[in-house]
Structures are given as structure tokens and as C-alpha cells.
Structure 1
Amino acid sequence: MNEHTDAVKTHLGEAGTHLKQAASAAGSAVKSAAAAAGDELRLGKAEVKAELAEGASAGLGAVEHLGGASKEQLDVLMDKGRDLLDSAAELIRERPLAAFGVAFAAGWLLSRLGRSER
């Protein structure tokens, strides 16, 4: 019986040694993976910061041009308003009686609408 007991002890000792080595290898693998993940995380963080900075720069560029764009639009609207006034003035010069009649009718209609609301 001593022979079998010794064999069991030997095999269990070998199994224990292999388990210790496996645990050590697993610990090394986890440390290596953590270091690699940390490097990737730092790289990703740097890329995110760079993209955010470029986005902010582009946004500021848009804001800088916003004033000019709104002035351009205002100029276009003012030109259209002047054209409309010129057209109305020309129409009044060409047909003064018709213009007076339209203005009188519009005033009368507005006064009637004003009275009906009260």
C-alpha cells in the first residue's frame, strides 16, 4: 500500500506544482493584458481629445463667419425691399387712380375688420 500512497503523493505534488505554474502564468498574462489595455486606453483618450479640439475649432470658425453671413442675408433682404418699394412707386406713377382706389379699399377693409373685433 505504501507504493500506491507514494504514487498518489507524487502525482498530487506534480499537480500542485503545475497549478502554481499555471497561476503564475495567468498572473503574468493578466498583467500584460492590463498594460496593453492601458496603452490602448491612453491612445484612444488622445485621439478623442484631438477630435474634440478639432470640432471646437471648426465650431469657432463657423461662429466667426456667422456675422458675415447674417449681414449678407440682411443685405439681400434690404435689396428686395428696395426693389418692392421701387415697383410700388412705379405702379403708383403709372396708375395713380388705381393705386388710390386700392389703398382706399384696403384702408376701408382694415377699418371694418378692426370694428368687428370689438
Structure 2
Amino acid sequence: MSPTASDAIKSNLGEAGDHIKQAASHAGEAIKSASSVAGDELRLGKAQVKSELADSALAGIAAAEQLGGAAREQMDVLMDKSRDMLDSASELIRERPLTAFGIAFAAGWLIAKIARSSDK
């Protein structure tokens, strides 16, 4: 007996169903594999982010440690400038004592006047 058209359709549909089952199985495996790879990539990315944040924190701490030295350097510069100004003022007072006394007297009088006017 030769196969009928109905038998051929059934056979072809059965074969198509088997292929669909296999395709679904392969798709599931691919999704599982992709999810595993994505998880690995996510863990790697997370580790890299943590590493960069740790490096950033270390660099920030190093900068903060250097702040004290930078502040001391700036203070030394200011102290040198103030010494230079005091030396210059001392030299001016030695060269022109009457002028220096007059300026000091006028400044004292002005400060006293301002202080008295703010008390009222």
C-alpha cells in the first residue's frame, strides 16, 4: 500500500513538529548560554567599577594628604612677603622718622574717631 496524501501530510507535520521542538530546545540553550555570559560580563563590569572607584578614593586621599604640604608652602610664601613688608616699613621709618610718626598719629586719630562715632 502506498502512502496517501493524508499520510504524507501527517508525516511532514510530525517532522515539522520535531524540528520546532528542536528549535525551541536550541533557543532555550542559547538563552541560558547568553544569560550566563551576560552574568559573567556583569560581574566583570561590577569588579571594574569597584576597582575604578577604589582608585579614585585612593587618589582623593593622596590629594587630601598633600593639602597640608601645600598649605604650609603658601603660609611660608605669605610669611616671607610679610617679613619683606616689615623690613621695608622698618627701613622707611629709619629713613623718615617724622613722616612715619605723623602717619601713625593720623591713623590712630582716625581709628579713634571712627570708634567713637560707632558707639553713638
Paired residue for 2:58? Answer: 57
Q: Which amino acid aligns with 1:35?
A: S
Paired residue for 1:33? Answer: 34
- The alignment status of 1:89 with 2:93, answered yes or no, reads no
CA distances 1:83-102 after superposition (whole Å, capped 9, x unpaired): 11111111111111111111
In the TM superposition, 1:1-118 aligns within 5 A as 6=7, 9-117=10-118, 118=120
CA distance, structure 2, for counterparts of residue 7 and residue 114 of structure 1: 116
CA distance, structure 2, for counterparts of residue 103 and residue 21 of structure 1: 103
Q: Which moved more, 1:40-49 or 1:70-79?
A: 40-49
CA distance, structure 2, for counterparts of residue 27 and residue 35 of structure 1: 12
Q: Which amino acid aligns with 2:62?
A: G
Identity across matched positions, percent: 67
Q: Which moved more, 1:60-69 or 1:21-30?
A: 60-69
> Could you state the TM-score of these two structures normalised by the residue count of structure 2?
0.80
Number of aligned residues:
116
**Structure 1 portions without partners, runs of 5+:** none
Q: Which moved more, 1:60-69 or 1:18-27?
A: 60-69
**Structure 2 portions without partners, runs of 5+:** none
Q: Which amino acid aligns with 1:70?
A: A
CA distances 1:56-86 after superposition (whole Å, capped 9, x unpaired): 2222222332222221111111111111111
Alpha carbon RMSD of aligned pairs, Å? 2.0
